[in-house]
């Protein structure tokens, strides 16, 4: 038994599913997850000393790769002065100013500890501001695990077939309306019928939690038009996309103007940080300025703020995002060429350094089409990749990420590994998909 297997066996006696967050339990792909010991740049090593090229990057935050020296240095310098005070700090203001200058629509913002807290608070402030209770989300969209948002949800919900979580009171779930992503006509119909009762609509402007799905222009345009017309607050959930596609939000690239933006992941440089913010008018509802309560003992934690500041400072490097785009294109083109040569139909949805490989020949543009991907092939492909030393998210409905440390050599090496993994997947298909154990 490997050390990882041994640790997982013990962990299962302590944590539900042996993990602190469901997707990482490998339930959808089978087998036992490697326990990670350390990371450096684009690589990680498990406790059995297996090396992997990391395309998970902690589900997105490590856009600079693991252990960026500047980020580490600033974390250490800040920690030496004290780890937490439960009081305002200068570094918190510094990160706040950086975020606001990159997201001009976030006139006022508040730091929290996770993306979940950010979206949960964004919904609460929307309800406080409008006096309405109903909210709208999109099928396959995932915005963390607050009760109102675990309805037709993506990510782990989609992975494990529990998009509507148990434990969410029916009365609350009923207040969450859902529509298919990328369907402007469905939006028009809903808003015409009941737009005036909806407090807010929350959307991933580029979806990442049903796998990556890039929006049609008309969808986002219609969403903005309808919400504005009906006094519904529009929330852009940029937890995944914030600072991933450009220095700031994907909202800049898509000319999308939400009322509230939620952030997480990259702004914390790998430490737990989230943020929500919008116009001063909406945010004046937030306590202590207004009656909408939201708080956190560790919110704005100086060490986490330092990680964010150092990360954003590094992301200001000119040409960094065009380099990431180039790497993303190289990887996607290479994967397309390999799958064509082996006759395995795939669809790659990609924006910059974030992508998903779907095992289907049809375009993937919403949850319905994403769910048609052949997850049995994904499972086989995933396992073969792991054997090759490629660490992918253990779910069809997550995104691969690249970092600035995935250089040309690493992309080339990865493509060779992907080729071997897909070659063995082809053999397995030719043999009629024999059972390969858990
Ligand atoms: N899809 C999740 C975040 N966007 C993955 C992280 C998790 O659930 O552990």
Q: What's the pLDDT tens digit per position in 253-267?
A: 999 999 999 999 999
Q: Do residues 309 and 373 both lie within one domain?
A: no
Q: Do residues 177 and 86 both lie within one domain?
A: yes
Mutate to test the pocket of ligand 1, among 55, 238, 398, 400 (most ligand atoms within 8 A of CB): 398
Helices (H), 182-236: 184-194, 217-229
Average confidence (pLDDT) over 360-384: 97
- Candidate list 59, 142, 181, 276, residue with the active-site label: 142
Q: Is residue 322 part of a domain?
A: yes
Q: 398, 155 in Cβ contact below 8 A? A: yes
Q: Is residue 437 part of a domain?
A: no
pLDDT for residue 223 is more than 80 = yes
Q: Is residue 86 part of a domain?
A: yes
Average confidence (pLDDT) over 25-46: 97
At 438 the pLDDT is 61
Atom of ligand 1 nearest to the CA of 398: 1
Q: Do residues 223 and 263 both lie within one domain?
A: yes
Rounded to whole angstroms, the Cα distance separating 156 from 148 reads 16
398 lines ligand 1 (CB under 6 A): yes
Q: Do residues 42 and 97 both lie within one domain?
A: no
155 lines ligand 1 (CB under 6 A): yes
Q: How many domains are there within the chain?
A: 2
CA of 115 to the centre of ligand 1 (A): 10
Does 59 qualify as catalytic in the annotation? no
At 155 the pLDDT is 83
Q: Give the helix, strand, coil percentages of the chain, each rounded to 5.
A: 45, 15, 40
Percent of the chain topping pLDDT 70: 100
DSSP letters, 22-45, are GGGG-TTT-S-PPPEEEEEBTEEE
Average confidence (pLDDT) over 277-299: 98
Does 412 qualify as catalytic in the annotation? no
Q: Do residues 199 and 342 both lie within one domain?
A: no
pLDDT classification of 437: cutoffs 50, 70, 90: low
At 126 the pLDDT is 98
CA 330 centroid distance within chain: 22
Domain termination site, one of 288, 315, 342: 315
Domain termination site, one of 287, 315, 343: 315
Q: Do residues 143 and 249 both lie within one domain?
A: yes
Q: Do residues 213 and 273 both lie within one domain?
A: yes
240 lines ligand 1 (CB under 6 A): yes
Q: Do residues 172 and 243 both lie within one domain?
A: yes
Q: What's the pLDDT tens digit per position in 188-203?
A: 999 999 999 999 999 9
* Nearest protein CA to atom 5 of ligand 1, as residue: 59
Q: 52, 410 in Cβ contact below 8 A? A: no
Q: Do residues 169 and 310 both lie within one domain?
A: yes
Q: Is residue 438 part of a domain?
A: no
Q: What's the pLDDT tens digit per position in 313-357?
A: 999 988 999 999 999 999 999 999 999 999 999 999 999 999 999
At 164 the pLDDT is 83
Q: Is residue 25 part of a domain?
A: yes
Domain termination site, one of 293, 315, 337: 315
Q: Judging by beta carbons within 10 Å of its beta carbon (0-12, 13-18, 19+), is residue 161 exposed, middle or buried?
A: exposed
20 lines ligand 1 (CB under 6 A): no
Mutate to test the pocket of ligand 1, among 118, 142, 150 (most ligand atoms within 8 A of CB): 142
- The CATH number of the domain where 141 resides is what? 3.40.640.10
Q: Is residue 35 part of a domain?
A: yes
Rounded to whole angstroms, the Cα distance separating 37 from 18 reads 17
Percent of the chain topping pLDDT 90: 95
Q: Do residues 262 and 241 both lie within one domain?
A: yes
Which range of residues forms the domain containing residue 218? 69-315
Average confidence (pLDDT) over 113-130: 98
- Candidate list 54, 68, 237, 374, residue with the active-site label: 237
163 lines ligand 1 (CB under 6 A): no
Q: Is residue 408 part of a domain?
A: yes
- Candidate list 265, 365, 380, 383, residue with the active-site label: 265
pLDDT for residue 156 is more than 90 = no
- Pick the more confident residue, 18 or 162: 18
Q: What's the pLDDT tens digit per position in 380-419?
A: 999 999 999 999 999 999 999 999 999 999 999 999 999 9
Token digits of residue 43: 């690589």
* Nearest protein CA to atom 3 of ligand 1, as residue: 59
Does 237 qualify as catalytic in the annotation? yes
* Mean pLDDT score across all residues of the chain: 97
CA of 143 to the centre of ligand 1 (A): 9
397 lines ligand 1 (CB under 6 A): no
Q: Do residues 21 and 121 both lie within one domain?
A: no
Length, in residues, of the chain: 438
Phi, psi of 42 (to 5 degrees): -95, 10
Q: Is residue 179 part of a domain?
A: yes
Q: Do residues 112 and 235 both lie within one domain?
A: yes
Residues β-bridged to residue 138: 179
- The CATH number of the domain where 390 resides is what? 3.90.1150.10
């Amino acid at each position: 038994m490997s050390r990882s297997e041994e640790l997982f066996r013990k962990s299962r006696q302590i944590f539900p599913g042996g993990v602190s967050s469901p997707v990482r339990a490998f339930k959808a792909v089978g087998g036992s997850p490697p326990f990670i010991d350390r990371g450096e740049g684009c690589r990680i090593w498990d406790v059995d000393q297996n090396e992997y090229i990391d395309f998970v990057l902690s589900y997105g935050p490590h856009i600079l790769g693991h252990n960026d020296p500047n980020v580490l240095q600033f974390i250490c310098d800040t920690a030496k002065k004290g780890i937490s005070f439960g009081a305002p700090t200068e570094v918190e203001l510094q990160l706040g100013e950086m975020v606001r200058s990159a997201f001009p629509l976030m006139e006022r913002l508040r730091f929290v500890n996770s993306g979940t807290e950010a979206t949960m608070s964004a919904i609460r402030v929307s309800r406080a501001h409008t006096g309405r209770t109903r909210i709208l989300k999109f099928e396959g969209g995932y915005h963390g695990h607050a009760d109102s948002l675990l309805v037709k949800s993506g990510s782990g919900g989609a992975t494990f077939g529990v998009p509507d979580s148990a434990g969410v009171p029916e009365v609350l779930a009923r207040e969450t309306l859902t529509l298919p992503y990328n369907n402007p006509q469905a939006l028009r119909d809903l808003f015409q019928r009941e737009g005036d009762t909806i407090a807010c609509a929350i959307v991933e402007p580029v979806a990442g939690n049903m796998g990556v799905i890039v929006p049609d222009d008309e969808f986002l345009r219609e969403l903005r038009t309808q919400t504005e017309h009906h006094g519904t607050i529009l929330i852009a959930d940029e937890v995944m996309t914030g600072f991933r596609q450009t220095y700031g939000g994907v909202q800049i690239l898509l000319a999308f103007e939400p009322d509230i933006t939620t952030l997480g992941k990259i702004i914390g440089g790998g430490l737990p940080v989230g943020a929500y913010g919008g116009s001063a008018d909406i945010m004046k509802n937030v306590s202590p300025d207004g009656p909408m309560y939201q708080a956190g003992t560790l919110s704005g934690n100086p060490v986490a703020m330092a990680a964010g500041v150092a990360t954003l400072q590094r992301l200001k490097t000119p040409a960094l995002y065009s380099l990431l785009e180039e790497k993303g294109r190289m990887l996607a083109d290479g994967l397309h060429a390999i799958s064509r040569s082996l006759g395995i139909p795939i669809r790659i949805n990609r924006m910059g350094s974030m992508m998903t490989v779907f095992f289907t020949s049809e375009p993937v543009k919403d949850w319905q089409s994403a769910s048609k991907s052949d997850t049995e092939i994904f499972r086989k492909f995933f396992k073969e990749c792991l054997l090759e030393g490629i660490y992918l998210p253990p779910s069809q409905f997550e995104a691969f990420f690249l970092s600035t440390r995935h250089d040309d050599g690493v992309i080339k090496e990865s493509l060779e590994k992907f080729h071997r993994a897909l070659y063995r997947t082809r053999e397995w298909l030719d043999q009629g998909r024999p059972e390969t154990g858990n």
